[in-house]
Amino acid sequence: AGDAEAGKAKSAVCAACHGAEGISAMDIYPNLAGQKEAYLVAQLKHFRDGERQNPIMAPMAKPLSDQDIEDLAAYYSGL
């Protein structure tokens, strides 16, 4: 299971586009705050594994472990 505190610590790079509190500053980037945890896990894995292709998210997700992904999802779903 994800650890929201650990996720927060890993979220600095995410904040550049998705906002410090998970509300994006740009209309083309999705808000993450309060998004469904299982959806966030699935999408991060899809970006990492290439099932969902996006030139910005692919290199972001590439180095993430399953635990990293669960932690990030726990953090953002709880905002």
- Of the pair 9, 39, the CB lying nearest a copy of itself is at 39
How far, in Å, are 24, 29, 74 from residue 9 at the CA level?
A: 18, 21, 12
Minimum CB separation of residue 37 from a copy of itself in Å reads 6
Minimum CB separation of residue 18 from a copy of itself in Å reads 10
**Encoded amino acid at 30, one letter:** P
Binding site for a copy of itself (CB under 8 A): 24, 26-31, 34-39, 42, 51-53
Is residue 48 helix, strand or coil? helix
- Of the pair 9, 25, the CB lying nearest a copy of itself is at 25
- Of the pair 53, 65, the CB lying nearest a copy of itself is at 53
In terms of DSSP H, where are the helices of the chain? 4-10, 12-18, 37-49, 57-61, 66-77
